[in-house]
Structure 1
Amino acid sequence: MKRVAIIQSSYIPWRGFFDLISRCDEYIIYDQVAYSKGHWHNRNKIKTETGTRWITIPVMTSDRLGQPIEDVEIKGDWAQAHFAQVRQAYKKAPAATDFLPVIESLYKQAEKLQLLTEVNELFLRHIVDTLKLKIVITRDRIYSPRGARSERVLATCLAAGATHYLSGPSAKVYLDEAMFRDAGVTVEWMSYGPYPEYTQLHGAFDGQVSVIDSILNGNGAGLAALPAQPQGAAGC
């Protein structure tokens, strides 16, 4: 059995993302599909003394319809400003001494990169290592998928040798489960949470923030306390 997740890259995602991929053997970064303005590709939220705040990587997008995420370039200087906001927000967090220097190092590496997807992968891989998740991370490019929507996702699953595909619930509106079943791939639907609260800085608890909030507050991603299987899973 081989379970895969195929998700577009996002900037320092929330803990639900890491919960999903932690249940898989392989996470395929799905970045040959179109960039979507206002999506999580280049932004996320942190908690600050003045409330929850977006931090957004400035990007240059072309007029080309359906520009792939993997081609989106970063515009201007941004990394130092982002780290300054993270440092100010979390300097009093329990794990700040251990992890703020690491995060600063990542931002110093990120400021030398030109492509958004490279920055997202840089943070992703380090967080996966920090959380000690046992998962292979690859890119959809290596599987040369064709088609659109269900056909494209299925082609990627088959090229990766997947027997099970774990998807977020939002894909239910378009995913053709019969197509997957006919091809011998079992579709499973992720059920996020409910996630336990943890001690958090700056007021009332907010779970819809970047996973770095959880890490800096000394909670990892809280994955150990979560259910062992996604909805409909047959077990790995």
Structure 2
Amino acid sequence: KTIAIHQPNFLPWLGYFHKMNNCDIFVFHDDVELNWNGHTRRIQVRSSPTSNELDWINIPIPNADKYAYINEIEIPSDPKAFDGIMDKIKGCYTGTPHYKQVFPVIKRCIIQKETNLAVYNQKAITILAKLLDIKPTLVVSSKLETEGRGQEKVINIVKAIGANNYLSGMGAISYQLADVFEKNKIDLTYLESAKDLNLVGKKVPHLLLNASIVDCLFYMGVDWVKETLDSLKPKIEI
């Protein structure tokens, strides 16, 4: 079984779903400190319908929770708190080719009754994964009650699940030690999402592949995103 582990990000980029589409088990790593400058609480979308520049959209989170674990952070229950996010998406993507098909799904992802950041993001990702017919087994790391940090925590999660192949993003290649995984009888595999998606970007240059997946969905549609993810080359072992 191949396992991938990632923080539950907010409406992630296409590469996030690339990873989900190449694993048997996907773990939402929710018992880790929030990276305030990361993508767990915010996304990038076009600054305007005619621009290739990107703007950030932030989930409203109290500053007091800045260094809390993701699964400890509460977000507003009032849907009006998300009006700014909804207005920005409407302003950027109304009139795109697949707006009528995609907008109701994105609205379901953003307007929820859930007030826990980790669960809120997990629900949104699950909605999008189902839309794209991506079906790994979903696990939440905090329920595994594993110890450690960084590489040690990853290895303990893989062991707790009983998987034998860990699918990692390229960002971890600088600090993960292949021999440590080997000693623990775990095959370490890397997925080059950025490299794969750059090839897609050359074919469709108007897409902003570093933006949230909503950009691809609005401009290209659900079927195109499905076909693109399925066509990308499989994981590469290093």
- 2:42 and 2:29 mapped to 1: Cα distance? 17
User: Contact 1:190–1:230 at 8 Å: present in 2 too?
Assistant: yes
Cα deviation 1:207-231 (Å, max 9, x = unaligned): 211111111221325213311x112
- 2:42 and 2:5 mapped to 1: Cα distance? 19
SS at match of 2:173: helix
Is 1:103 matched up with 2:106? yes
Letter in 1 for 2:230: A
Alpha carbons of 1:37 and 1:19: their partners in 2 closer, same or farther (altered >3 Å)? same
What is the identity percentage for the equivalent residue pairs of Structure 1 and Structure 2? Answer: 22
- 1:121 and 1:180 mapped to 2: Cα distance? 27
- 1:33 and 1:182 mapped to 2: Cα distance? 25
Give how far 1:105 is off. Answer: 3.1
Give how far 1:184 is off. Answer: 0.8
User: Contact 2:42–2:57 at 8 Å: present in 1 too?
Assistant: yes
User: Which residue number corresponds to residue 53 of structure 1?
Assistant: 55
Give how far 1:61 is off. Answer: 4.5
User: Which residue number corresponds to residue 146 of structure 1?
Assistant: 147
Is 1:207 matched up with 2:206? no
- RMSD, aligned CA: 2.1
Give how far 1:199 is off. Answer: 5.4
Is 1:230 matched up with 2:231? no
Give how far 1:106 is off. Answer: 3.1
User: Which residue number corresponds to residue 157 of structure 2?
Assistant: 156
User: Which residue number corresponds to residue 94 of structure 2?
Assistant: 91
Give how far 1:154 is off. Answer: 0.4
Higher mean C-alpha deviation, range 75-84 or range 122-131: 75-84
Alpha carbons of 1:102 and 1:63: their partners in 2 closer, same or farther (altered >3 Å)? closer
- 1:63 and 1:70 mapped to 2: Cα distance? 11
- 2:42 and 2:9 mapped to 1: Cα distance? 7
- 2:65 and 2:104 mapped to 1: Cα distance? 38
Higher mean C-alpha deviation, range 48-57 or range 128-137: 48-57
User: Contact 2:178–2:188 at 8 Å: present in 1 too?
Assistant: yes
User: Which residue number corresponds to residue 124 of structure 1?
Assistant: 125
Q: Which structure has greater helix proportion?
A: 2
Alpha carbons of 1:9 and 1:105: their partners in 2 closer, same or farther (altered >3 Å)? closer
Cα deviation 1:78-102 (Å, max 9, x = unaligned): 3222112112211111111112122
TM-score (norm 1): 0.87
Aligned length: 225
SS at match of 1:106: helix
Give how far 1:25 is off. Answer: 0.4
- 2:31 and 2:96 mapped to 1: Cα distance? 37
Gaps of 5+ in 2: none
Letter in 2 for 1:130: L
SS at match of 2:236: coil
Gaps of 5+ in 1: none
User: Contact 2:74–2:115 at 8 Å: present in 1 too?
Assistant: yes
Alpha carbons of 1:175 and 1:55: their partners in 2 closer, same or farther (altered >3 Å)? same
TM-score (norm 2): 0.87
